[in-house]
């Protein structure tokens, strides 16, 4: 029963440690009397007033929509481009300098370009998010495909599995553990770029709200926005892991059985 006990203790730690940290913060900030670090209770009150649910429609949803659309575009493009690059060494060699160059561009440097070319609306924010999220997924897709076992490739050749069948039933599933690893990295990048892009040339969104609050010295509001962003990142990652566990159930099963023998 030591396994169950260990899990129980682990779960307890996972819940208790954050509560302890919050309690410490509350205790410290209650007596601190600092303008920049208002009491936690005040931040939480502001959080409830601001985000439950007054600004959900005006700021949270637009932010999430930008993130979602940008991220989805990135996944679609990265996989669509990654497949031919992964399958053909010639295409890969030709494309790799371009890929390496584009991915080396520091993302915030794209914001001025995006504003000029696409305009200050949602378009440039979605563009910035998508542009940055593409690279981890693209590189992982390529790696996943080039790493397909030679025996597996021989098998598909011998049995005449070609074209769409090969793509859907062999290539993409075989690369999917790696693709998911890239998607997870990109998800946190998407959140970062969402905030950055909303701090420049924006009239709504969580990033905009945090910056506006700071500029108008509404410090508890600013803190409540930061808190919300942290929470969002945590929840997005948790949701992602949930999806990944379902889609890659075979992968965990296969790995567990390989380790067992």
Partner 1 sequence: MLLEINHLGKTYGEGADATHAVGDLSFGISAGEFVCVVGPSGCGKTTLLKCMSGLLRPSTGKVALRDETISGPPETMALVFQEYGRSLLPWLSVRGNVALPLRHKKLRKDEQARLVEEAVGAVGLDGFIERYPWELSGGMQQRVAIARALAYQPEILLMDEPFASVDAQTRGDLEDLILQVRDRYDMTILFVTHDIDESVYLSDRIVVLSPSPTEVKEILDVDLPRPRDQVATKELPEFAHLRAHVYRQIKRPQAHGNPE
Applying CB under 8 A, which residues contact partner 1?
149, 151-152, 154-155, 157-162, 165, 169-170, 173-174, 176, 250-251, 253-254, 256-258, 261
Smallest gap from Cβ 32 to partner 1, in A, equals 54
For residues 108 and 173, which CB has a smaller minimum distance to partner 1 in the complex? 173
For residues 140 and 176, which CB has a smaller minimum distance to partner 1 in the complex? 176
Smallest gap from Cβ 251 to partner 1, in A, equals 7
Contact 209, 225 (CB under 8 A): yes
Q: With H, G, I as helix, E, B as strand and everything else as coil, classify residue 54.
A: coil
Instruction: Give the separation between CA 129 and CA 207, rounded to whole angstroms.
Output: 13
Could you give the angle at the alpha carbon of 190 between the alpha carbons of 174 and 177, nearest 5°?
15
Instruction: Give the separation between CA 132 and CA 137, rounded to whole angstroms.
Output: 10
For residues 231 and 254, which CB has a smaller minimum distance to partner 1 in the complex? 254
Smallest gap from Cβ 170 to partner 1, in A, equals 7
- Backbone dihedral angles phi then psi of residue 207, each to the nearest 5 degrees: -60, -45
For residues 217 and 250, which CB has a smaller minimum distance to partner 1 in the complex? 250
For residues 35 and 159, which CB has a smaller minimum distance to partner 1 in the complex? 159
DSSP string covering 23-85: HHHHHHHHHH--SSS--HHHHHHHHHHHHTTTTIIIIIHHHHHHHHHHHHHHHHHHHHHHHHH
Smallest gap from Cβ 259 to partner 1, in A, equals 11
Smallest gap from Cβ 151 to partner 1, in A, equals 4
């Amino acid at each position: 029963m030591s396994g169950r006990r260990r899990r129980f203790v682990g779960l307890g730690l996972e819940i208790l440690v954050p509560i302890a940290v919050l309690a410490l913060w509350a205790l410290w900030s209650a007596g601190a009397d600092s303008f920049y670090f208002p009491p936690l209770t005040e931040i939480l009150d502001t959080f409830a007033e601001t985000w439950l649910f007054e600004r959900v429609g005006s700021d949270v949803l637009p932010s999430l929509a930008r993130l979602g659309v940008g991220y989805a575009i990135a996944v679609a493009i990265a996989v669509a481009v990654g497949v031919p690059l992964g399958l053909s060494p010639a295409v890969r060699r030709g494309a790799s300098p371009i890929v390496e160059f584009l991915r080396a561009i520091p993302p915030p440097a794209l914001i001025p370009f995006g504003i000029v070319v696409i305009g200050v609306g949602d378009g440039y924010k979605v563009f910035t998010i998508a542009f940055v999220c593409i690279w981890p997924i693209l590189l992982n897709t390529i790696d996943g495909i080039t790493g397909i076992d030679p025996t597996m490739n021989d098998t598909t050749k011998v049995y005449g599995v070609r074209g769409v069948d090969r793509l859907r039933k062999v290539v993409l599933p075989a690369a999917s553990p790696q693709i998911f690893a890239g998607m997870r990295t990109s998800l946190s990048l998407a959140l970062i770029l969402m905030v950055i892009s909303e701090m420049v040339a924006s009239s709504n969104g969580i990033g905009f709200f945090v910056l506006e609050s700071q500029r108008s010295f509404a410090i508890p509001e600013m803190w409540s926005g930061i808190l919300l962003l942290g929470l969002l990142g945590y929840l997005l990652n948790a949701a992602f892991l949930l999806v990944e566990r379902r889609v890659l159930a075979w992968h965990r099963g296969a790995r567990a059985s390989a380790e067992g023998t």
